[in-house]
Amino acid sequence: MRCALRFIGSTCDIAVISDDGDFAFEHSLALPDTYSALLTSLYDILKGADPSGRVKFVGVSLSGDYSPKTERLYCPSIALINDQNLKADLQASLNREVFIASHAHILAKSANQLPEFKSATNIFSLYLDDEVCAGQLVNQTLVTGANGLAGNWGHICLPWPVEFELEDRDCACGRSGCLGLFVSRAALSREYLLLSEREVPAETVFAQAEQGDIVAESAIQVFEDRLARGLAMVINLMDPEVIVLSGRMSQPSRLFINIPRKWPGYVRGGANATRLVGFANTPEEMRRLCLLGAASLENIEAV
Ligand SMILES: [Zn+2]
């Protein structure tokens, strides 16, 4: 038996999963006000779900950067756990070994287990939702880096900016112009707001564009170009065979046609050998795959 935690927005999903991958227990915890209350709540929930102590370890999926070497956690979108020594504190509280990885790392590993991507040796995974995080898998091994920063794509500056594009884009990390500020759900809502003076969720912007709303279409084209630039930078740097997109911002099928079409403008010779694919296409599938992946984190090697 394994326990998996998924931190997402203001909640923490908890699951106890059998070695065969069956969900024996599931619960969604609203994040409490304090870090100590979080640790206490998780202890109480796991004790109730596993009274006989069959769960041997806990895997954690979150949107952030975690270095197994330094044990430093950078997760500015969830202030409650940001900069905390989450691994050591959970281990002490739950009395089990704890493993931590980002949603993107976990989904890169999950995608690599699919027959169609089994032979891929270089996979880049990008999770686009309210939060943005990325991960890289090379030769079936997660790349976390010397400082745990290998997936820190969302806090690289938007490449090839046009005039004024980086202005008024302050990030939680303390810098400005970070990619995550241009490709998240909030980013598309903001772009539409700037053009229309109406505030709607990103999904509504996509739906309105489908119905012929030219303002929504304009906002999406700006979003697509920014995402294409951010991914072109990845191709120029590491040239992956597969780029896996997940999260609610990756659901519209138009992205998988329009974004590769933009790459020749930013990548010399284009990037015909790089496949851009969607993964974990619904919130429920995303939840399940992140929990299953977190539950098998003990088997994941990272460099
Ligand atoms: Zn940033």
Structural domains of the chain in order of their starting residue, each with its CATH number: 2-101 (3.30.420.40), 106-283 (3.30.420.40)
When pLDDT is cut at 50, 70 and 90, the band that residue 66 belongs to is confident
Q: Cα(173) to centroid of ligand 1, in Å?
A: 4
> Both tokens of residue 215?
């303002």
pLDDT greater at residue 72 or residue 34: 34
State pLDDT tens for residues 114-159: 999 999 999 999 999 998 999 999 998 888 888 778 888 999 999 9
Q: Cα(302) to centroid of ligand 1, in Å?
A: 24
Q: Cα(193) to centroid of ligand 1, in Å?
A: 22
Q: Cα(176) to centroid of ligand 1, in Å?
A: 6
> Both tokens of residue 223?
């979003």
pLDDT of residue 302: 62
* Backbone phi and psi for residue 60, each to the nearest 5 degrees, phi listed first: -125, 130
pLDDT of residue 40: 97
Q: Cα(203) to centroid of ligand 1, in Å?
A: 24
pLDDT of residue 77: 82
Q: Cα(169) to centroid of ligand 1, in Å?
A: 9
Kindly report the number of other CB atoms within 10 A of residue 74's CB atom. Answer: 16
Q: Cα(108) to centroid of ligand 1, in Å?
A: 22
State pLDDT tens for residues 255-292: 999 999 999 999 988 899 999 999 988 889 999 999 99
- Among 67-71, 104-108, 141-145, 176-180, which is the least confidently predicted range? 67-71
Q: Cα(80) to centroid of ligand 1, in Å?
A: 18
Q: Cα(42) to centroid of ligand 1, in Å?
A: 29
pLDDT of residue 243: 97
State pLDDT tens for residues 196-231: 999 999 999 999 999 999 999 999 999 999 999 999
Q: Cα(67) to centroid of ligand 1, in Å?
A: 18
Element (H, E) at 287: helix 283-295
Burial class (CB in 10 A: 0-12, 13-18, 19+), 38: buried
Q: Cα(55) to centroid of ligand 1, in Å?
A: 36
pLDDT of residue 231: 97
When pLDDT is cut at 50, 70 and 90, the band that residue 4 belongs to is very high
| pLDDT > 70? residue 35 | yes
When pLDDT is cut at 50, 70 and 90, the band that residue 299 belongs to is low
Tell me the CA distances in angstroms from 4 to 20, 129, 174, 247, one per residue in order: 14, 20, 31, 19
Helix-then-strand count for the chain, H and E:
9, 12
Q: Cα(155) to centroid of ligand 1, in Å?
A: 4
Q: At a CB cut-off of 8 Å and minimum separation 6, what does 290 contact?
A: 4, 6, 13, 61, 103, 106, 107, 280
Q: Cα(49) to centroid of ligand 1, in Å?
A: 37
CB 259 within 8 A of CB 223: no
Q: Which amino acid is at 100?
A: I
Mean pLDDT across the stretch 47-51?
A: 94
Q: Cα(56) to centroid of ligand 1, in Å?
A: 36
Q: Cα(106) to centroid of ligand 1, in Å?
A: 22
Q: How far apart are CA 123 and CA 274, in angstroms?
A: 10
Q: Cα(258) to centroid of ligand 1, in Å?
A: 26
Question: In whole numbers, what is the pLDDT of the chain averaged over residues?
Answer: 92
pLDDT of residue 65: 81
When pLDDT is cut at 50, 70 and 90, the band that residue 3 belongs to is very high
Q: How far apart are CA 22 and CA 141, in angstroms?
A: 25
